[in-house]
Chains A and B, each alone.
Chain A
Amino acid sequence: MTEKIRNFCIIAHIDHGKSTLADRLLHLTGTVSDRDTTEQILDSMDLEREKGVTIKASAVRMNYTAGDGSAYELNLIDTPGHVDFGYEVSRALNACEGAVLVVDASQGIEAQTLANLYQALEADLVIIPVINKIDLITARPDEVAEDIGSLLGVPPAEVIRVSAKDGTNVAAVLEAIVRKVPPPKGDANLPLRALIFDSHYDSYKGVIAYIRVVEGKVTADEAIRMIATGVDVKPIEVGTFAPMMKPAAGLAAGEVGYIATGLKSVHEARVGDTVTSAARPAPHPLPGYRHPKPMVFAGIYPSEAEDYQNLREALDKLQLNDASLTFEPETSQALGFGFRAGFLGLFHMEIIQERLEREYDLSMVFTAPTVAYEVLMHDGTVTVVNSPADLPDEGLIAEIREPWMTIEIITPTDYYGPIMELVTRRRGIYKQQEYPAPHRVQLDYEIPLSEIIVDFFDELKSRTRGYASLDYQFLEYRMDELQKLEILVNGEPVDALATIVHEKEAYHKGQRFITKLKELIPRQLFDVAIQASAGGRIISRANVKATRKDVLAKCYGGDISRKKKLLEKQKKGKKRLKMVGNVEIPQEAFMAVLSLEED
C-alpha cells in the first residue's frame, strides 16, 4: 500500500518560489482546478498573502498518475523560508522522505539554501534539485546548475530547470519525485505512532494536529493518546488536506493528514509529540526534534487596561497555531498589566503584532525587543533576565552574559568590505570565509544576538542592494561589559523604556535616545523632563516644554456636530497614548530604542 505514497517537502531560500511551485503542482495534479486562481494557495492567512511570505507550513495530498501508468499519492509539505521560521522546516523534514530543493536561477545559492539543505541531509532525505525562474532575463541557469552540481556531487544536467510562474517543465519535478523519493517504510500492523508536525486551532473542531503516521493506523472511531502529555481523546475527525480539510476513513503508516482532536488547548496536543492508540499504546514515542526556543523578548501591554483579558485570550489563540510563541504575565509600573512574550526573531514578533491588531482588533504597546541575559550574582547564583527592568541592582551583579550567535552571510564578493564594516561595528568577530560558488563568498562571524535583532537585516540588505543573505544559529552565552540604560521621565525611571547596552555605547545611545524621545513625546500640560542614566550617572537630558495652546478658536456658524466630532477624534488620539505617571507617552516611544544605530 505505502508503495505508492511519496512524502516530500520543498525547501528553498526565502522568495525563491516554493509556494509558487507548490501551486503549479496542485494544478498539474488536478488537486485544485484552474479556476481557483488565487495565487499561493497554501498561503491561507491574509497576512501571508499580503507579505507574499509563507509563515506556517502546510500539508496537502495530491493524486498523481505518473508516466509509468500507476497512480500515486503525493503528500506535499510547504515550508517557510524566512530564517525566523527555520524550526518549521525542521518539523516538516521529519515527516518526509524527500525534499525538492528550489534555487532561484538569478539569485543562485543563498544562506538558507545551504542551511535548509544541511538539515535535509541530516534527516536523510533524498534531494531533488530544481532551478526555478528560468523565464527571468537575469536567469543564469548554467552557472547555478554548475554550483548546485558541485554542492550535491551530482552532474549539473540532473538539476531540473523550471519556471513555476509559466509552468515550464514542472511536470518533470513530479516525475522525479515519483522515481527518486522512496516510499515510506513502516508497518501498518504495529501499534499507532504518528508525529505531530504542526497544528492549528479551529473553533469547531478544536486543535487540529497535522500528523505523519509512522506506524499503525488512526481512525476517528478509536481513542488516541498523546504520549508526552498522556491525554486520551476520541478524535472528532481524521482526514487529509486536499488542499482543504477532507474527512477520511483513516490514515495508515506512511500517510500524512490531520486529526481533529476536539482538544481546546494546544498544551494537550503539542507539536513534536507522538500520537498513539489509547487501547494499544506504543511503548516509546518517536524521537522528538529540536523544540524552537524564543530568542527575542518584548513586553505586550493593552493600550487600555480593560483589554487585558482580550489580549490574553488572543495570545492564547495565537499560541494554538504557533507553538513557538511564549508568554507570561508581566507587570510594569509604567504600562500596567501585560505580558512578556518570546519570539523566534524580530520578523516573528512583527507577524504576531500584526495578527493581534488585525485579527483581534487590539491596540497594544509593544516594548522594544530584548534578548535573554544571564546574570551571575555575587552570591554565585545565576538568573535569566529577559526584561531590562528586571536587571538586579548593580552592586549585586558579578557579571552579565549575553547570547552570541554564529552567522553566515552569503554575498557577491563585491560587498565584502561593507559587510565586514557593518559586522565589526556591531561587535561581530570574523571567523572564516569560503567560496561556495564563483563570485560568491560566505562569511562566518560570531556576534551578540542583541546586535542583530535591531535592524541588522535591513542594514545588510541596504548595504548589499538586497544581494546578501543571512542565516544564524545560537552559539553560547558570553560575558561582556554590559549595563542598564535607564530613562527617567520627570525624575521617575520608566521600566518599559529601560534597555541593556554595552558600556562603551551607553553615552552615545543615551544621547540618541533622549533626542528621539524629545521628538516623540507630545507636549503636555506641564514641562516634562526626560533623562538617560547609566551606571548611576545622568548622561543626557532634555525638556519637553508645556503646551500653551490647544483650542479651537475659529469662527464657526452653529455647526456644533462638527466641533464635537473634532473633539471626539482628538480624544481617540489621546487614548492611544500611554499614561506613565501623569505623562502621556506615545507607543512609538517604546520602540524608539530600535533606531539608535545611525550616527
Chain B
Amino acid sequence: MIYSLYLHVPFCKHRCAYCDFNTYAGQEALIPDYVDALVREIESVAHSAPEQLAVHTIFFGGGTPSLLTSKQFEQIFRALRGHFDLSDLETSLEANPGTVSLDTLRDLRSLGFNRISFGVQSFHANELRQLERIHDPFDVFDAVTWARRAGFENLNLDLIFGLPQQSLDRWSATVKRAVGLAPEHLSLYALTVEHGTPFGRWAARGLLPVPDADAAAEMYEWAGDFLSASGYEQYEISNWAKPGFQCEHNLQTWRNQPYLGFGAGAHGYAAGVRYSNVLRIKTYIERLTNPESRTVNIEFPFSPATVNRLPSTVRSEMQETMMLGLRLTSEGVSAADFAARFGVPVTDVFGKEIDELLGLGLLEWVLPPSPAFGRGAGGEGIIRLTKRARLLGNQVFIRFVD
C-alpha cells in the first residue's frame, strides 16, 4: 500500500469573500508554534504506524502554505524524511500569487517541491477585487514567470467560473490568458455560494447576481472544448492536464486510496477509517503540545488532534469507490480493480443502478468486456461518465449513496 500525505496550513493574509475553508486571517504569529505542532503530529502518527510507510505524494494545502518560510518547510521536510519512505515524489504546494517572489520560489524548488498550484481564479482585476483576493492579474504573470525561472516544470492554475455578473466572454478571456501562460495543469471550479461567507450573506439579501446554472454550464462546456483544442486532456470533472501531468495526489483520493492528513482541520483516510482533526489552530497546537495527550497510546492513523472518526464498512467503501472513481472522466472505475478490491463484480453490487444510468445515457462502458465473463465482470471494461454526464455528476453519484 502506498500513501499520500496532506498537510494543512490554515493561515491567510485576508479571507476571500467566497471562502469557507478552514483558514484564519491575522493569526500569522502562531505559525512557528503551528509548525512545531505539525512536526509532532507527523512523529506521532509515523510512530504508531505498523511499519514505515511508503509515500509517493505530498501536498501542502490551505489556507496559504506559501506563507511559511523556507526554514519552516525545511523543519517539516526533515520530519517527513525521517519517518516515511519517500521516493519518486510528487511534492505540491498551493500558493497565492501575491505571496511569492523569485527568491522564495528558488528556495521552495531546492527544498524539493516540484509542483506548484497557483490560486489564480480570474484574470480580471475587478473580479479579483470582488472575490477579495489579495493579488491582481500582474502578480499572476510574475509568479508564473518566476516559477519557471526557479525550475518548476509542473504548474497548475486554479480558475473559478460562474462569478457574479460574469459573462461567457469574460470567462473565456480568463481561460485564454491562463492557457497563454502554458501551465501543465488547470483546475476549473464552479463558484459555490456557501453559508456563513460574505458571498452567502450577500446572496441571501439578493445582492449577488450570479449567473444561473445554464450560463455556468455554457462556461464549463466552452472551456472544456477550448482546453481540449489547446492540448489539455480532461481527467476529472474539474481537472485538465497536458499528457503525463495529472495530479497524482488528487488521483489518490479519487481512486479511493489512503492518505494521511496533518494539521488543523485536515482530513485523512487510512486503515479503513475516515477521520479529521480539530479545526481551531490554538486547540490543535495545544493538543500536540500538552504532554498528557501526547503520552497516551494512540492507534494509527490517529493523532492527539483527531476529533472525528468514521470507520468504513465494506458497503461504504464500495459506495465511495464509485462516487469518487466516477469523477475520473477518463479512467472511471475499472471492473477489474473493483473485483480485485472487493472480491465481487461491480455489476453484482450496483447492477441495478448502473443499468438505470446506462439507460439514462449518464454512464458508459468502455472496452466492453468479453462475453465469456459477462458485462463488466471479467475485468476488461471500465465504467465512466458520458460526456453529457460530466455536468450532471450528482445525478449519477446519488445513486451510489444511501
Contact = CB atoms under 8 A, between A and B. Distances in A.
Contacts of B261: 558
Contacts of B267: 557-561
Given A555-B187, A557-B267, A560-B267, A549 B392 contact: yes
Given A557-B21, A560-B320, A568-B401, A525 B213 contact: no
B108 interface: no
B203 to A, nearest CB: 15
A561 B213 contact: no
B214 interface: yes
Contact of B268 (A525, A550, A558, A568): A558
A51 interface: no
Contacts of B276: 559, 561
A574 interface: yes
A567 B21 contact: no
B56 interface: no
A120 to B, nearest CB: 55
A465 interface: no
Contact of A564 (B188, B308, B390, B401): B401
A551 B8 contact: no
B217 interface: yes
A553 B190 contact: yes
B393 A564 contact: no
Contact of A525 (B61, B192, B395, B401): B395
A547 B213 contact: yes
B401 A571 contact: yes
A554 B189 contact: yes
Contact of B394 (A557, A558, A561, A570): A570
A561 B391 CA distance: 21
Contact of A574 (B259, B390, B398): B398
Question: Which of A549, A550, A554 has the most CB atoms of chain B within a 10 A radius of its CB?
Answer: A549
Nearest to A552: B394
B220 A553 contact: yes
Nearest to A553: B190
B401 A554 contact: no
Interface string A569-585: 01100100000000000
A548 interface: yes
B362 interface: yes
A570 B391 contact: no
Consensus secondary structure, chain A interface? loop
A335 B360 CA distance: 22
A571 B237 contact: no
Nearest to A526: B360
A75 B392 CA distance: 66
A554 B189 CA distance: 5
Contact of A553 (B237, B395, B401): B237
Contact of B259 (A555, A558, A561, A571): A558
Interface string B248-273: 00000100000101000011110000
Contact of A548 (B217, B323, B399): B217
Given A557-B8, A558-B269, A560-B267, A551 B391 contact: yes
B391 A549 contact: yes
B158 interface: yes
Nearest to A559: B267
B240 to A, nearest CB: 12
Nearest to A574: B398
A564 B399 CA distance: 11
22 contacts: A525-B362, A547-B213, A548-B213, A548-B214, A549-B213, A549-B214, A549-B217, A550-B395, A551-B190, A551-B390, A551-B392, A553-B188, A557-B6, A557-B267, A558-B6, A558-B261, A561-B267, A561-B276, A561-B310, A563-B323, A564-B323, A570-B394
Q: Name the 8 nearest CB pairs between A and B, nearest first.
A: A551-B393, A548-B217, A549-B217, A571-B398, A558-B267, A553-B190, A549-B213, A549-B391
Given A549-B214, A553-B220, A564-B401, 20 more contacts: A525-B392, A548-B213, A549-B216, A549-B217, A550-B394, A551-B190, A551-B237, A551-B393, A553-B189, A553-B190, A553-B237, A558-B266, A558-B267, A560-B253, A561-B276, A561-B310, A564-B319, A564-B323, A570-B398, A574-B398
